[in-house]
């Protein structure tokens, strides 16, 4: 049941719709380094033109799929669009987009609350429209996926480009060989962190966690990184997409939205209102 609106006569509100203020409205001495850098970027016409060129290119890419309203597409076609979008985001990394593969993963917990958190997309599989990330199988997200619901969603947002991709699908544990392959690429320190941390479990203090890590360092001090074993409770998850929406932001919230939906192993595209 939806709760009734609460009376607001004694409530304190902090509004963000009026927070934007041009630098002309501020005193010169109030300008921070961040604001000054923002001004420099906004006045760099070549840089802004490059961004708009990339945005227009990706928009035209999507428009081609709307020409034939009855057309069906393979997973690889839709994944190729995603690959082009994220590769454009990588062009601005790390200076302007620190982690283009950062994505909000949303699951449902045991109390039926939707829960979102940021993870790093590590691999995509083109032929089956799969998105793969890695985590501790005892973490909250893993328990939600393994014990509550195998359905999840992902949402990418690249603020500089004003582009977003939203994905919905079913999640399964990744093949152990793929988890082993990725594990071998991780720095030794990251491997030890993954072994030490009982992810999402309480701990008395940060000092205790650091003590556990230092003890693990001693255990593996003479072991080369490639010989640090992957714990069985750590590995990958694969989200097999059933819907992928591509969002291209525009002024006055007049955004372009195109959603691809999978039906009988083929994909159809629909334009959505902003």
Tell whether pTM > 0.85: yes
Q: 99, 120 in Cβ contact below 8 A?
A: yes
Residue 21: pLDDT band with limits 50, 70, 90: low
First vs last Cα of the chain: how many Å apart? 28
pLDDT per residue as tens digits for the range 59-91: 999 999 999 989 999 999 999 999 999 999 999
Q: What is the pLDDT of residue 35?
A: 84
Tell whether the model's pLDDT for residue 115 goes beyond 80.
Answer: yes
pLDDT per residue as tens digits for the range 202-224: 999 999 999 999 999 999 999 99
Distance (Å, rounded) from C-alpha 272 to C-alpha 259? 7
The total of other beta-carbon atoms located within 10 Å of residue 270's CB is: 12
Residue 95: name the closest of 52, 157, 37 by CA.
37
Distance (Å, rounded) from C-alpha 10 to C-alpha 74? 56
Distance (Å, rounded) from C-alpha 237 to C-alpha 239? 7
Active site residue 253: yes
Residue tagged active-site, from 112, 253, 257, 268 = 253
Q: Which two tokens stand for residue 62?
A: 């999507």
């Amino acid at each position: 049941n939806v709760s009734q609106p609460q009376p607001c006569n004694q409530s304190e509100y902090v509004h963000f719709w009026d927070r934007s203020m041009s630098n002309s409205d501020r005193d010169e001495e109030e300008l921070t380094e961040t604001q000054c850098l923002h001004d420099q970027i906004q006045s760099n016409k070549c840089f802004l033109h490059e961004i708009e060129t990339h945005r227009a290119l990706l928009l035209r890419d999507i428009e081609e799929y709307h020409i034939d309203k009855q057309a069906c597409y393979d997973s690889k076609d839709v994944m190729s669009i995603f690959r082009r979008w994220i590769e454009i985001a990588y062009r601005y990394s790390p200076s302007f987009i620190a982690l283009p593969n950062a994505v909000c993963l949303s699951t449902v917990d045991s109390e039926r609350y939707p829960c979102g958190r940021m993870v790093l997309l590590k691999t995509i599989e083109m032929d089956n429209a799969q998105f793969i990330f890695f985590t501790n199988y005892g973490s909250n997200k893993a328990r939600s996926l393994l014990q509550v619901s195998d359905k999840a969603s992902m949402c990418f947002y690249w603020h500089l480009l004003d582009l977003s991709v939203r994905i919905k699908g079913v999640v399964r544990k990744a093949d152990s060989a793929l988890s082993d392959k990725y594990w071998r690429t991780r720095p030794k320190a990251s491997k030890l962190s993954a072994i030490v941390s009982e992810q999402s479990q309480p701990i008395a203090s940060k000092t205790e966690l650091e003590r556990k890590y230092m003890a693990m360092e001693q255990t593996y001090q003479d072991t080369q990184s490639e010989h640090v074993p992957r714990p069985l409770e750590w590995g990958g998850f694969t989200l097999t997409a059933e819907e992928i929406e591509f969002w291209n932001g525009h002024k006055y919230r007049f955004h372009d939205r195109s959603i691809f939906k999978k039906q009988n192993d083929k994909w159809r595209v629909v334009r959505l209102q902003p």
